Amino acid sequence: MKLHKIILPIVACAFAVGSCDDDKMEWGRPEGYGDVSLSEIPLGLSEKIANYDFIKNYVQKYASHMSVGIGLGADLYINDAEYRQVANDNYQMITTGNAMKHSSVVKNDGSLNFTTIDAFLEAIPADMKVYGHNFIWHTQQKQTYLKTLIAPEVIVETGDDDVCENVVTNSGFEDGTTNPWGCWGGNGPSKNLSEAGQGYNGDYAMILSNPKDGNMWDAQAAVTFDTYLVSGETYVFQFWARSTSPAGQLQVQVQNSSTYQSQEGYNTFEVGTEWILCQHEYTCSKDDVDRILINFGKIGADYYIDDFKFGKKIEETMVNLLGNNGKFEDGTLNSWGGWGNSSTRAISEKGEGYNSDYCMVMVNPTDADSWSAQTAYTLPENLVVGKTYVYQAMIKATVENPDFTFQVQNPSTYAGEGYQSLTTVVDTWIPFEGEFTVTKEEMSRLCINFGKVAGTYYIDNIKFGEKVEKAPITRAAGDITYKFKTAEEKKEALLGAMESWIKGMLEHTDGRIKEWDVINEPISDNNQWRGIEGNFMSNGDDAPDTAPVEDPATGFNLNWADDHFYWGYYIGKEYAVKAFEYARKYAPTDAVLYVNDYNLETNPGKLATLIEFVNYIEQNGQKVDGIGTQMHVSLSITREEIDAMFKTMANTGKLVRVTELDVRTGTATPSAGQLEEQANVYQMIFDSFRENVPQAQQSGITIWSLTDHKREHEYWLPDESPNIFDASYGRKHAYKGVCDGIAGFDISTEFDGTDWNISNE
């Protein structure tokens, strides 16, 4: 028999290190007795444990009607060969701790990601059973996705000059607060509301105060959204800003609010003492971005922020006549030319474009009239009299030019119209947009006039074309309103998501998994249905800080813990019936479906409510095959408590399964006495299960986590030693307790001294 690692020291005996025969001779021959045979030499506890067979072999020999399984991390099983081998050697069934849960599989758009599950199923032996854990729970549900299904429709009213579908409430701070912004950072920054009249074209602005120079991220202000941005969509930041320092700098970016990852969308603005329009667009490439930030830690100063808007880009307000000829990304000027005042036009150095490689660089060598230096583009056809046309561009300069102007003209007569001007800003890209209605015939040339002030001008993303008329706007630009869903609409949406989730999982695994926790932990510790009628208790905690709020004055908010979601709050008790209905509909005909909960051994009232829960499901037309009890217990658990639970469960006539068994010792470094107590508790649970649950109802027992290694207990029972293998895969005393509990007697009584050689090879 193979020698197995053990945790306990060898109990004192007469053996000395050396050959078996030499050791036997040390026993001597007592007076009046014959020689001591090898078989008569007693084994120590550690030697006995080493001689035990694999757990699954005892199950097959003494309890073949049931299965003994292990709950473990799929990634560990897939990637660690030794870990995988110990699990395969000892167990008949595997439950993955997290890989099959809703939040692990469901993506933010509701689609399903089976990458880990597929790798896990590929790694396990063909004869290894898998226990599906789980379909519906109150935690580890993809909260962000589920919230989008029940959240109100956000109606963003846009004005003619809006560049984005703004989703930041209180953009102008005109409600007299800085909501919804937060502020933090290592520089000790703060945010405040300005005095009335200090805003840009309004009463109020937000003041972000950075007390000292530092890293840009040492002072941050942020808004966090209830839902994620949409990967592939283009978003726009737009706001007005000024600083108390002429060298002020602001930076915008996005990120995930929990992990601080998925950071992108960076752009830095040079912000002086005069109001400047800051605008930046980026295309989202992540699927978990839910926060926008202003970083202001670089330069110590006060920063005034107003009219802050962020949202999906309003793509086109025109039929662009320039196509890609205004982007310069092919490294040429295309059809752009020019003249006057010895001015020049050229392609920039690579990397100097606006969020791109290239732009056009125009140099005016001396001050003159605005039209003295012109850059021009011949349009494909004459503009139509009576129609409205729009200019758009991004512009940066080395000087302030108060008369940087767009116009159109007749290329033969040089008659012009449509003059639209702005003042350039030094070393900062700013947006330009203007419009006019054509009144003159044969306008077919677009001109840019930059002769007023000598300097270098950078221009990119030039667009020009006929204005696209929008639908009439009945509200002020930038207003955000909410159309709340009815209770029935929410219920319908969530039931659809529930069916898609259960169907998708069952169809993808295609009958490979025959046993499932359909509903996990439906009863709270106060013995009520979790999530029903406002009951949100979780693992003995109080209700979440805020119950679901749908208040038009504050917006839609679900302030629950990360990835908590209470299906019953929106669907009612019917959620339980529907979960079993969908599971039964898509599962194999021989599938076994369970409900599962914890603390049933110490809370008879909770067990009684769980049985009522099962009865409700069956009274409404769906069959529940089994009841699972987790049994995360400590050394203080009593045989009386365990017997009473198993008897009550058995009286239901349902299959009974222990789904997550572990036994806490209260320490990560247990004594030999504590290890013995732990072994006794493991054996007691197996004994009680065997004696109090009829064999036909014995589904089996799953032990939760393979070893005591810290990597398996980073979050679950840290600083503990609850398992039957130590951190190095050594068998603990509890290994013997489990095997003896399966067999119904002390298996080691079948060993004798002849096994000593085997255990010490």
CB 560 within 8 A of CB 141: no
Q: Which two tokens stand for residue 305?
A: 């922020």
Q: Kindly list the structural domains of the chain, giving each domain's residue range(s) and its CATH number in brackets, ordered by start.
A: 1-96+635-750 (no CATH), 98-152+488-630 (3.20.20.80), 154-313 (2.60.120.260), 318-467 (2.60.120.260)
Determine the pLDDT at residue 17.
31
Determine the pLDDT at residue 753.
67
Sign of the torsion formed by the C-alpha atoms of 74, 78, 81 and 87: positive
Determine the pLDDT at residue 108.
85
CB 382 within 8 A of CB 443: yes
Reported as type and span, the H/E element at residue 506 is helix 487-509
Report DSSP state, residue 529.
B
Determine the pLDDT at residue 651.
98
pTM above 0.75, yes or no: no
What's the CA gap between 474 and 238, in Å, rounded? 23
What value, to the nearest 5°, has the Cα angle with vertex 744 and ends 742 and 746?
100
Per DSSP, the three-state class of 301 is strand
What value, to the nearest 5°, has the Cα angle with vertex 420 and ends 416 and 423?
135
For residue 670, count CB atoms less than 10 angstroms from its CB and return exposed for 0-12, middle for 13-18, buried for 19 or more: buried
What's the CA gap between 394 and 431, in Å, rounded? 5
Task: List, in order, residues 6 or more apart from 482 with CB less than 8 Å away.
Answer: 152, 153, 154, 155, 552, 555, 556
Give 207's strand partners: 192, 304
CB 144 within 8 A of CB 291: no
Q: Which of 431, 435, 442, 433 is nearest to 467 (CA)?
A: 435
Q: What is the pLDDT of residues 393-415, one digit of tens each?
A: 999 999 999 999 999 999 999 99
CB 543 within 8 A of CB 685: no
Report DSSP state, residue 725.
B
Residue linked to tokens 């193979």: 2
Determine the pLDDT at residue 275.
93
Determine how β-strand 515-520 pairs with β-strand 549-551: unpaired
Low-confidence residues of the chain, pLDDT below 50? 1-29, 33, 36, 38, 471-478, 538-559, 757-761
Q: What is the pLDDT of residues 672-709, one digit of tens each?
A: 999 999 999 999 999 999 999 999 999 999 999 999 99
What's the CA gap between 97 and 655, in Å, rounded? 22
